[in-house]
Chains A and B, each alone.
Chain A
Amino acid sequence: MNIVELPTPNDWRRSICRLEDAAIVKAKTVNLPANTIAIGNLSVQYRTVEALRQIDCQIHSGRLTGIIGPNGAGKSTLLKAMLGLIPVTTGTVLFNDRPLMAQRERIAYVPQRSQIDWSYPATVWDVVMMGRVKKTGWLQRFSAISRQLATNALERVGMSAYRDRPIGQLSGGQQQRVFLARAIAQEAEIFCFDEPFAGIDQKTQAAIFNIFRELADSGKTVLVVNHDLGESIAHFDDLILLNTELIAAGSRQQVLSQENLYRAYDGKVMFFAEAA
């Protein structure tokens, strides 16, 4: 694992660029399996609040990985920081020993549904075609192949009949499936979902997990921020358990030990009890 320490410049975008350069120079060939995301020493600070402290972990392709932890543990923050969507204070994120930020076209990111304005004047088709924007390129029109990929993706999530429906008329589960179709249409290698199951019914949740499983089985990386610690947790192969710092990462069985959960959840309860 290579660790790059950086000053904290005001302009974080510049810092990310320098981070990439430093990472390339310093990257030691660690023996990681192909298509592994390696997160090294990742820290995030929001003004004065520490959101993530020196996270080190790996995410493997072909596996369904969940990011879990209590409220405010930094689950969404880890996802966003990995993808360069928020400023990081230190850290590297590599994919195949190259900075992930230099390979953004491989990433499909689905934000929390609550971050989207669902009254936006767009149809289901418009949203799925957004998955083809980057591949299509500037000044180009969508190709027949792109339209075919979008059609197939809609079929795969069972939303073909809703193609021309305004997105504001969909249920929460349907909205989530449309976003899943957009990610599939993008032909990405790394799929990142931020709390896809918030406010979703059991049936849709099962259908979405089936597609996650298919994606993982076809060698993709599937990374899901999951709030729920209930039955749904059994669907994941690997877990990353967070509470500002990394509590545990690895296979589900390893991570879900009494001791780890106690450190992630009970510790916090004790903290509140002490404060009271």
Chain B
Amino acid sequence: MNNFIEPLYYGFMQRSLAIAILVGLLCAVVGSYLMVQRLALLGDAISHSVLPGLAIAFVLGANIFIGAFIAGVLSTMAIAWIKTRSPIKEDAAMGIVFSAFFALGITLITLVQKDNKIDLNHFLFGNILSVTPAEVRDIGIIALVVLVVVLLLFKELLFYTFDPLGAQAVGLPTNLLNFGLMLLIALTIVASLKAVGVVLVLSLLITPGATAYLLVKRLHQVMILGAGIGIFSSIAGMYLSYFYNLPSGPAIVLVVSSLFVLALLFSPTQGIFTHSQPTFSSPLWWQELKEIVRGKA
């Protein structure tokens, strides 16, 4: 036990712990909205798209959170614009926009990282042990704003994400709610960059909520249990990063993914081991293949 308490005497470990808790909580709550709307890919798109904003803010000497946020919001607007103004479908638009933004970000960071002492890997995979006091303050403010908005708009967002047409019919401002949700998601991703990096933040957005979804049945329960899972995973990943000198992002993601597998196998209501479902002795594609071969023979 002492092994876990002792590192916390260091200032940088206290800051890391604060970030782990904030990010675990924030990602699970906001990520639940992505999961129920089947917009996981959008989370991935926004997170990859923040990279050029980071790089430009760095060169200009501006706050990198603000740069990242602007780039993230621009990417969602670009996706929406392509979707409404052309016959291109939304998932294709996301793929186009986020890979273009990501490529631009990688290029910019590669160009500037020689002159400035920055490490591309830290943006890509996170480095929770290197957070500064100013970053803890910024992330704290973001977390406060996002959680208060979710709390205040909970009933409207529940209605909108469940039945957008019904919500629009009674006169809720559904376009505004959707845009607000995008802002919350972009803010959450920006706040999580330090801990998990742009490549893996999707895991912390989706997996805790998905794990909780296997265990409980109402949105607020999914959020609360998901937050517990997210916080636990972030802290565990932080210690793995500290003791084994691992990048923090992959360490956190491995923990949260393991928890998901446990829930998948052992959930009391939907676990694969605990809840029997009619199964076929062999995969369907294998049966079909055999039939084809037999037919030919």
Chain A contacts to B: CB under 8 angstroms: 80, 83-85, 104-105, 107-111, 115-117, 120-123, 126-127, 129-130, 133-134, 136, 138-139, 142, 166, 182, 186, 192
Do most interface residues of chain B lie in helix, strand or loop, or is the interface mixed?
A: helix
Q: Which residues of chain B are within 8 angstroms of A104 by Cβ–Cβ distance? A: 169-171
Q: Whose C-beta in chain B lies nearest to the C-beta of A115? A: B165
Q: Whose C-beta in chain A lies nearest to the C-beta of B156? A: A133
Q: Which residues of chain B are within 8 angstroms of A129 by Cβ–Cβ distance? A: 155
Q: Which residues of chain A are within 8 angstroms of B213 by Cβ–Cβ distance? A: 121
From the candidates B158, B161, B171, B221, name the one contacting A134 in the complex (CB within 8 A): B171
- Cβ of B108 within 8 Å of any chain A Cβ, yes or no, is no
Q: Are A192 and B222 in contact (CB under 8 A)?
A: no
Q: Are A85 and B165 in contact (CB under 8 A)?
A: yes
Q: Whose C-beta in chain B lies nearest to the C-beta of A109? A: B169
Beyond A111-B166, A115-B165, whether A121 also contacts B159 by CB under 8 A is no
Q: How large is the interface on B (under 10, 10 to 19, 20 to 34, 35 or more residues)?
A: 20 to 34
**A47 to nearest B CB, angstroms?**
8
Q: Are B38 and A117 in contact (CB under 8 A)?
A: yes
Q: Are A127 and B169 in contact (CB under 8 A)?
A: no
Q: Are B163 and A130 in contact (CB under 8 A)?
A: yes
Within the assembled complex, what's the spacing in Å between the Cα atoms of A129 and B166? Answer: 13
- Cβ of B179 within 8 Å of any chain A Cβ, yes or no, is no
Within the assembled complex, what's the spacing in Å between the Cα atoms of A62 and B158? Answer: 32
Q: Are B169 and A83 in contact (CB under 8 A)?
A: yes
Q: Which residues of chain B are within 8 angstroms of A110 by Cβ–Cβ distance? A: 166
Produce 1/0 per residue, B148-177, CB < 8 A to A. 000011011011011101111111100000
**A177 to nearest B CB, angstroms?**
16
Within the assembled complex, what's the spacing in Å between the Cα atoms of A192 and B172? Answer: 17
Within the assembled complex, what's the spacing in Å between the Cα atoms of A115 and B165? Answer: 9
Further pairs besides A110-B166, A134-B171: 8, Cβ < 8 Å:
A109-B170, A111-B165, A116-B163, A122-B219, A123-B218, A133-B156, A138-B153, A138-B156
- Cβ of B36 within 8 Å of any chain A Cβ, yes or no, is yes
**B81 to nearest A CB, angstroms?**
12
Within the assembled complex, what's the spacing in Å between the Cα atoms of A110 and B170? Answer: 11
Q: Whose C-beta in chain B lies nearest to the C-beta of A169? A: B217
Q: Which residues of chain A are within 8 angstroms of B221 by Cβ–Cβ distance? A: 121
From the candidates B161, B162, B169, name the one contacting A107 in the complex (CB within 8 A): B169
From the candidates A85, A111, A133, name the one contacting B172 in the complex (CB within 8 A): A133
A-B residue pairs in contact (CB < 8 Å), sample of 20: A84-B169, A104-B169, A107-B170, A107-B171, A109-B165, A109-B169, A116-B163, A121-B218, A121-B219, A121-B222, A122-B162, A122-B219, A123-B218, A127-B162, A130-B155, A130-B159, A130-B166, A133-B159, A134-B171, A138-B156
Q: Are B158 and A130 in contact (CB under 8 A)?
A: yes
Beyond A85-B165, A120-B162, A139-B152, whether A166 also contacts B170 by CB under 8 A is no
**B172 to nearest A CB, angstroms?**
6
Q: Whose C-beta in chain A lies nearest to the C-beta of B174? A: A85
Q: Are B166 and A109 in contact (CB under 8 A)?
A: yes
- Cβ of B240 within 8 Å of any chain A Cβ, yes or no, is no
Q: Which residues of chain B are within 8 angstroms of A166 by Cβ–Cβ distance? A: 217-218
Q: Which residues of chain B are within 8 angstroms of A192 by Cβ–Cβ distance? A: 169
Q: Which residues of chain A are within 8 angstroms of B218 by Cβ–Cβ distance? A: 121-123, 126, 166
Q: Whose C-beta in chain B lies nearest to the C-beta of A107? A: B169
Q: Are A85 and B168 in contact (CB under 8 A)?
A: yes
Q: Are A105 and B170 in contact (CB under 8 A)?
A: yes
From the candidates B152, B156, B167, B217, name the one contacting A123 in the complex (CB within 8 A): B217
Within the assembled complex, what's the spacing in Å between the Cα atoms of A65 and B160? Answer: 28
Q: Are A130 and B162 in contact (CB under 8 A)?
A: yes
Q: Which residues of chain A are within 8 angstroms of B217 by Cβ–Cβ distance? A: 121-123, 166
Q: Which residues of chain A are within 8 angstroms of B169 by Cβ–Cβ distance? A: 83-85, 104, 107-109, 192
Q: Which residues of chain B are within 8 angstroms of A83 by Cβ–Cβ distance? A: 169
Within the assembled complex, what's the spacing in Å between the Cα atoms of A80 and B171? Answer: 13
**A259 to nearest B CB, angstroms?**
35
**B83 to nearest A CB, angstroms?**
14
Beyond A117-B38, A133-B155, whether A108 also contacts B170 by CB under 8 A is yes
The 6 closest A-B pairs by CB, nearest first: A104-B171, A109-B169, A166-B217, A134-B170, A130-B159, A111-B165
- Cβ of B216 within 8 Å of any chain A Cβ, yes or no, is yes
Q: Whose C-beta in chain A lies nearest to the C-beta of B152? A: A139
Q: Which residues of chain B are within 8 angstroms of A121 by Cβ–Cβ distance? A: 36, 213, 216-219, 221-222
Q: Which residues of chain A are within 8 angstroms of B219 by Cβ–Cβ distance? A: 120-122, 126
Q: Which residues of chain A are within 8 angstroms of B158 by Cβ–Cβ distance? A: 122, 126, 130
Q: Which residues of chain B are within 8 angstroms of A120 by Cβ–Cβ distance? A: 36, 161-162, 219
Within the assembled complex, what's the spacing in Å between the Cα atoms of A85 and B93? Answer: 24
Q: Whose C-beta in chain A lies nearest to the C-beta of B155? A: A133
Beyond A117-B36, A117-B38, A126-B219, whether A142 also contacts B170 by CB under 8 A is no
Within the assembled complex, what's the spacing in Å between the Cα atoms of A197 and B16? Answer: 56
Q: Whose C-beta in chain A lies nearest to the C-beta of B165? A: A111
Q: Which residues of chain A are within 8 angstroms of B152 by Cβ–Cβ distance? A: 138-139
Q: Which residues of chain A are within 8 angstroms of B38 by Cβ–Cβ distance? A: 117
**B237 to nearest A CB, angstroms?**
26
**A84 to nearest B CB, angstroms?**
8
Within the assembled complex, what's the spacing in Å between the Cα atoms of A138 and B172? Answer: 10
Within the assembled complex, what's the spacing in Å between the Cα atoms of A90 and B221? Answer: 45
**A195 to nearest B CB, angstroms?**
13
